[in-house]
Structures are given as C-alpha cells and as structure tokens.
Amino acid sequence: MIEKSAQTRNVFIAGGTGDIGGALVPLLLKHNFSVQCLVREKSISKLPQGSKPIKGNVLDKSTFVEKISPSDTFIHLVGVSHPGPFKGDQFRKIDLISLQQSVEASVAAGIKHFIYLSVAHPAPVMKEYIRVREECEEFLLNSGLNATIIRPWYVLGPGHYWRYILIPIYKLFEKLPSKVEYIKRLGLVTVKQMTQTLLDAVENPVDGIRIIEVPGIRNNGSLKKVKDQDQVHKDLQGMFL
C-alpha cells in the first residue's frame, strides 16, 4: 500500500539543464527546496541561479555518489534529446546507463524517494525508445527504492512547439469511441503540467511505488481532482511556456 511520507526539503537532480529541468529547478527553489544539480563543467552556466552545481558524470556513479547528501529526493530527468527511431544505440548508452548509475548511487546514498521521468507505453511508435524506458523502470522497481514514475507522451513547450499542430488531431480522435482510451494514455501535456506534477511528487513522497500517467499529469499530479476535457484543451492551447 502506498502512503504519504514526511515532506523533504533537499532535492538532487540529474538533468537539471534540459527543457523540463530548466523549468523545474526555479519552481522547486520558489517552494523553498534546496536543489543540487548534477552537471558537466561546461554546462554549469546553464543552471538557474540559486541551485548548487555538482560536477560529475551521470554515466559514472563514482563521480557523484558521495555528493548526493544531504538530499533525500533524487529526480532523474536525463535522456537523449529529440528522441527518434534512429537513436536506439544512444538510448542504451545514455538513457539506460544513466538511470542505472543514478539508481545505484541513490541506493548507496540512502535516498528516500526516487522520481523517474519515463514515457507512456505501450505505443505504436518509438519502439526502441519505449523498450529502453521499460528496462529502466524494471531496474528501478527491482532496486527497492521508494519511487514515483511519471509517464508523459508528447510534451508541449520550449523546443517542442511543433507539437501544437497535433491538438486538432487529438480533438478529432477524442470523438471516436475506438480512440478514447488511446488519447487518454498517449495525450498531450504541457511543460507547466509536467513541472507541477514533479513538484507534487516531491512534496508528496511515497512508501512504495507510484505511477503517474498522462491523465494524472494533466491534473497536475495524481493526487488532484480530474479536470474536465474542455479545460484540458484550453490549457493545451493557451500554454506556450
């Protein structure tokens, strides 16, 4: 049974300079969390002011495992940018290895809550990408860590504005009975909804495993009431973050 644990105030992030990480870090700081970000030397300047840079290599736990303390929440946002079907080798060398190293380091450091940004599945495309993410989830589940797994599909926001052209297609599919469940599971979400969901996960850690899929992300976290579909579409059309 999943139960709410005590709130934590120290967070360690791998992937803090990406599109979602760059929006999440200021939000966590605004909510009075102490934020440490694992970062390469050349990317330190990309970190939001107020966060603490931790120089290391996410593909090698020995470079950061002893620097995780005093954080007790670990957020893993690392992944190949602009994933495509031709990047299968990169998914295994970066997405899979980085997750394995982060999980092993978290176990060694006594992390109380691990938050992993995965992907919605099953899906009819991006087979290798999804396969690697499923392996990552399995590795995390077998680690014994308390964990939240977040599974978005397409995220709308900075660097991903082309995806807004999908909104009319999704609205059309929602009118087809055979596509309703498909749209719910592989729906569109915004960067704002993603960061709010991540914040909610940090503020409400679990004992056990929690999985938040697209409907939960659209509600800004699985612990909140479901919005009606009209409001969801207004959010999607109005949020260029």
Instruction: Specify the CATH number for the domain of residue 154.
Output: 3.40.50.720
pTM of the model: 0.82
pLDDT surpassing 60 at residue 161: no
CA-nearest of 195, 232, 199, 206 to 20 is 195
Q: Which domain holds residue 106?
A: 10-235
- The pLDDT of residue 178 is 56
Q: Is residue 103 part of a domain?
A: yes
| Residue 128 neighbours by CB distance under 10 Å | 17
- The pLDDT of residue 70 is 96
pLDDT surpassing 60 at residue 4: no
Beta strands 188-190 and 154-156, pairing class:
parallel
Q: Is residue 5 part of a domain?
A: no
82-96, 105-119, 174-188, 215-229: least confidently modelled range: 215-229
- The pLDDT of residue 141 is 97
Q: Which residues lie across from 14 on neighbouring strands? A: 38, 76
Tens digits of residue pLDDT in 98-139: 999 999 999 999 999 999 999 999 887 889 999 999 999 999
Q: Is residue 2 part of a domain?
A: no
- The pLDDT of residue 174 is 60
The DSSP code for 47 is S
| Helix ranges restricted to H, the chain | 19-30, 88-90, 97-109, 127-141, 167-173, 180-185, 191-203, 214-218, 229-238
Task: Report the chain's mean pLDDT, rounded to a whole number.
Answer: 84
Q: Is residue 15 part of a domain?
A: yes
Choose between 142 and 7: higher pLDDT.
Answer: 142
Find the distance separating the first CA and the last CA of the chain, reported in whole Å.
Answer: 36
Q: Is residue 100 part of a domain?
A: yes
Question: What distances in angstroms separate CA 84 from CA 47, 128, 130, 147, 219, one per listed residue?
Answer: 26, 9, 11, 27, 28
Choose between 122 and 205: higher pLDDT.
Answer: 205
What is the pLDDT averaged over residues 145-164?
79
User: Distance (Å, rounded) from C-alpha 120 to C-alpha 209?
Assistant: 16
Choose between 94 and 122: higher pLDDT.
Answer: 94
Q: Is residue 3 part of a domain?
A: no
What proportion of the chain, given as a percentage, has pLDDT over 70?
76
Q: Is residue 186 part of a domain?
A: yes
What is the pLDDT averaged over residues 145-165?
78
62-66, 100-104, 169-173, 226-230: least confidently modelled range: 226-230
Q: Is residue 35 part of a domain?
A: yes
Q: How many domains does the chain have?
A: 1
pLDDT surpassing 50 at residue 82: yes
User: Distance (Å, rounded) from C-alpha 229 to C-alpha 45?
Assistant: 40
